[in-house]
A and B are shown apart, each in its own frame.
Chain A
């Protein structure tokens, strides 16, 4: 967004000098701004404002809406299912950002080294990313089956007791995160790999001369220099994880019970199964606030690590 407005306003600056005329005339850059403005108004501002407006109404599909003020919002904290779904979303997001980040960085370091067949193996590694989430979900559902699934068979090979995976409230979220991690670790790997490739070789050479260990080279040279990339990766992962719907819906539909019901799934039920549009809108507004808060926290963190100083690379 900020990128767009920057490029739109930049060419206008020389015009300010020529605008010293009597009477008011529209700035000459308007025609250039207008299309973007219309699009933004139509697809972002208007739906957003309309959602807020709907959230102030008791609005059931099939019945006329009535204005209820903040009643829908007041209902939220006492709605146990909603409160639980916020918690589920946070846990699910935290895990599905952290694990791919960790494993993806590790994979990137491995694939950054030169070894035979590297290109082929890299290609193999990013395959999960290319598959359709719903198809993946159906395959994993079969693998998770407590009696007939392959995962329990694999556990039995190493002498571990069978698990209930997505069929038990305590293990359902970790099991779903397993699918997310499997699919999205390659993305983090790709981003970090790009970062590693952009680091010049001089720092490593001087570190080598100074007698740094491999861990020290990674900790004090690679890690700070790829930090900006890690932030980008975690931002992308966070957005993906917060809005995740397909995998959860296809595998558990929020179950067992409501143990894996995230805000998104609950929202879907309220809007399209219960047809309670007003209340659903209130949930969306709160959900939006939550996403903004998470993104802001992440951005703050990024600023605190001075990535601009370190990251001449970006």
Chain B
């Protein structure tokens, strides 16, 4: 189904300016009530900021939050529509959710604002003082614009329902056991697999002498049956023989890094998406989705649908990817190349502190591309300006799969993945994405 059928509601010009201008502009424009679309956009942009600035929000943790936020946004919307289907009963462990009082008046913008506000406080309770200040500020300045002019009973009922919805989702989230991320996700003890084929620490950062979130693959999935559903075949057989496939792949990484073109460097850095310095890889795809939704002026039901599928897909992708990573615990190019090819090998990017196979960015980019392609079509061209504020120019893509392919190969340019991990990561993401796409939202 084409997005153009959905893009039927035109926003008032000012509302769009507010969306583009962000929260500060909204705060100034107290005469205009934000639309549900503007509420969703504003609240998501705060979440993206908080993902970047909250220490526990490594990519897997961020993807989990996006899945729960997506669910809240979607259910807040679907609960007031007769043409949409709840995801309760479809997402694992989500049995039921609060329902609106029949016949009573609700305002969707208020429901969304209250639900996402309480969700932000729940999921980012651990953020720092500036994050807390930002949450307080948006509640103090933005929420009054959302409720302005509405009857008090509607406001109270809508806010109560939004908060109840988040409480229910929060209870559901409690069941996955991932609320607490001790030591930023790095275990204090970890037994590494013996042998040169297996992962070893790649930095001298004390915290990273154990791998990030080694049991994340056992996390309850959202739409995919289990973390092992989209399992991959084993990686290339480890070998140091110069004629072996493993050696040749390593040599390809080394050669690539040694002879990087400016364009390849730009690609590697564009998709680097480092935690604490960006919105992370899943956040990058959320940024893409928000940007396109704004440009196309998608109505709230389509935005909510897109965001929940994208959140679920990337969250399941990280679970599946981590399940595979810790099944094999494959050595990173840095260790292998230094031991067997070039002791001075230095990748362009910092090597992430967890096993190599498959590439996490590839898996989750494949899953994201699967969702976005189903939503917008095969050859949807767009411009990605996610990192403009960080000094990285926008990049244009002919399709979501073109972007996912580039995200995947960026890890080769960065010197942190072998080709097999990249290609099979995309395969795994494609598989994961099918489950998110199979969720039923329309009657």
Bound pair: A and B?
Answer: no
Q: Which residues of A contact B (CB under 8 A)?
A: none
